[in-house]
Structure 1
Amino acid sequence: MKALTLGPEGTYSHRAARAVADDIEFTESVTGIVEGVAGGAYDRGVVPIENSIEGSVTESLDALAEWNVSVVQELVTPIRHALIAQRSEFSVVASHAQALAQCRSYLETEYPDARMEAVASTARGVQHAREDPDVAAIGHPDNAGDDLQVLAEDIQDKTSNATRFLVLAPETERTDAGGKSSFVVYPNQNYPGLLLRLLEPFAERDINLSRVESRPSGERLGDYVFHIDVEAGMYEDRTKEAVAELESLAEQGWVRVLGSYDTKHVLY
């Protein structure tokens, strides 16, 4: 099985993907991962979807609304950020934008004069630190290797820092089995109480919503796509009934069922 995730080697996405496949390739675009799976070039894709500190990864949400794929598993992994550099003096901190944000308080307190540089991944930031002694990186402490120093560990603002990753598969592998289900809904209309009406089919059937998020559709200002996660599987009659009602409410647009799946907690 061949999987695609964010690279280069050593990213948190790579660490999560190792729980899915041994044959792993890399790209620096979440959209590229989703497109690669949708086009059949890869059996699996692993994308970050939500962090406990910084919230949802919007590029992942937008890609899931654009391409037809299925979600077959959720991976939850703790995030341990370390400050890594060639030396203790530097003027730039390079890492993924999410990692920089997750360590905001530490960096503002300890290195208020350092310039923050957002790069494609935490592993790419470590590469920059390896190439430039004036650059420090934020990444997993194991990424330091033998040639970089770990100046500080567990620098994330909250010790409970964790990230959810979705394991993607081609649309044909969508399954109804699992304790959670995800949907993307584009109602293609807007009126008072619309979101309430979209969520009522789940509430009326005692289905808990674990996440609801809106993203601009890109069609026009004020027009939105909704991402909904529920704690129920599509194998359940109540979920099927709720989705059928949801599809009726969104008949001017569309409802994409990403599938049902279970959660695996990954430690490394």
Structure 2
Amino acid sequence: MKAITLGPEGTYSHRAARAIAEEVTFAESVTDIVEAVAEGRVERGVVPIENSIEGSVTESLDALATHDVAVVQEIVTPIRHALLAQREDFEVVASHAQALAQCRSYLEENYPHVAREAVASTARGVEQAREDPSVAGIGHPDNAGDGLRVLAENIQDRTSNATRFVVVAPEHEREEAGGKTSLVVYPNTNYPGLLLRLLEPFAERDINLTRVESRPSGERLGDYVFHVDVAAGLYEERTQEAIDAVEGIVEDGWVRRLGSYDTRHVLY
């Protein structure tokens, strides 16, 4: 199986993708990954969806709401950040914005006067550090070598740092079996108590909500799309009943069933 994920080689996304695919290619953005799957140019995409420190990856949420794809698996992996550089004195720390945020306390305490530069991925920052002695990167310690040294390990603000990735497939491969289901709900309206009405059908059927998040729809100011994860499969009658009730509430909008799936924990 072939998969596409955030590149270049050595990103945490790459490590997650290797758990489900023998051949991995790379893209510069999550949107490019989801588009490639939606258009049938690749079998699977692996995108980060949520980090335990910094929360959701908004580009991933927006891409899933925009393109007709399915979510067929969840991969959870611990994140071990290391500071990588050619030498101990450097002027810039370059990494993905999420990695910089996850290591904020360490950087502020140890390198308060060093500039921070957000780049497309952790691996891209490591590449810059390998090419330029004035730059340090943040990434997995295995990315050291070829002139790069590990100056410090486990520099993330919390030792429990972990990232949740989802495996994206073409829409026709959507599955109903699994312990978890992801939905995207667009009400196309707004009034007091709307969110409560949308969530009540799940509570009434004893379905646990594991995540609820809103994102701007892009249609107009104050108009939102809701991303909902529930701890139940689409194969369950209670889940179908709850979704049917939600569809009745948002009759001027829509509900997208991204699919049901199970979670795989991958350690590195």
Residue 168 (structure 1) aligned with residue 138 (structure 2): no
| C-alpha separation in 1, matches of 2:103 and 2:163 | 14
Hey, what does 1:122 align to over in structure 2?
A: 122
Residue 99 (structure 1) aligned with residue 64 (structure 2): no
Hey, what does 1:158 align to over in structure 2?
A: 158
Deviations 1:78-133 (A, max 9, x none): 00000000000001000000000000000000000000000000000000001100
**1:144 CA drift (Å):** 1.1
| C-alpha separation in 2, matches of 1:147 and 1:42 | 35
Hey, what does 2:227 align to over in structure 1?
A: 227
Secondary structure, aligned partner of 2:201: helix
| C-alpha separation in 2, matches of 1:28 and 1:139 | 17
After TM superposition, list the pairs within 5 Å mapping 1:177-216 onto structure 2: 177-216=177-216
| C-alpha separation in 1, matches of 2:132 and 2:262 | 42
Q: Which amino acid aligns with 1:55?
A: G
Deviations 1:134-176 (A, max 9, x none): 0000000001124200000000000000000000000000000
Q: Which amino acid aligns with 1:89?
A: D
Q: Which amino acid aligns with 1:216?
A: P
Hey, what does 1:6 align to over in structure 2?
A: 6
**1:177 CA drift (Å):** 0.3
**1:250 CA drift (Å):** 1.0
Secondary structure, aligned partner of 2:199: helix
Hey, what does 2:143 align to over in structure 1?
A: 143
Q: Which amino acid aligns with 2:216?
A: P
**1:3 CA drift (Å):** 0.5
**1:27 CA drift (Å):** 0.5
Aligned residues: 268
| C-alpha separation in 1, matches of 2:248 and 2:19 | 38
Deviations 1:195-227 (A, max 9, x none): 000000100000000000000000000000000
Q: TM-score, normalised by structure 1?
A: 0.99
Q: Which amino acid aligns with 2:8?
A: P
**1:244 CA drift (Å):** 0.6
Indicate if the aligned counterparts of 2:130 and 2:146 stay in contact, CA closer than 8 A: no
Q: Which amino acid aligns with 1:113?
A: H
Q: Which amino acid aligns with 2:141?
A: P
Indicate if the aligned counterparts of 2:6 and 2:47 stay in contact, CA closer than 8 A: yes
Hey, what does 1:69 align to over in structure 2?
A: 69
4+ runs of 1 displaced by more than 3 Å?
Answer: none
Secondary structure, aligned partner of 2:117: strand
| C-alpha separation in 1, matches of 2:194 and 2:262 | 30
After TM superposition, list the pairs within 5 Å mapping 1:11-90 onto structure 2: 11-90=11-90
Secondary structure, aligned partner of 1:113: coil
Secondary structure, aligned partner of 1:181: strand
CA RMSD of aligned residues (A): 0.5
| C-alpha separation in 1, matches of 2:169 and 2:129 | 34
| C-alpha separation in 2, matches of 1:120 and 1:203 | 39
Q: Which amino acid aligns with 2:11?
A: T
Secondary structure, aligned partner of 2:61: helix
| C-alpha separation in 2, matches of 1:16 and 1:145 | 21
Q: Which amino acid aligns with 2:151?
A: L
Secondary structure, aligned partner of 2:240: helix
| C-alpha separation in 1, matches of 2:196 and 2:27 | 38
Q: TM-score, normalised by structure 2?
A: 0.99
| C-alpha separation in 2, matches of 1:78 and 1:133 | 29
**1:2 CA drift (Å):** 1.1
**1:233 CA drift (Å):** 0.3
Q: Which amino acid aligns with 2:40?
A: G
Structure 2 segments unaligned to the other structure (5+ residues): none
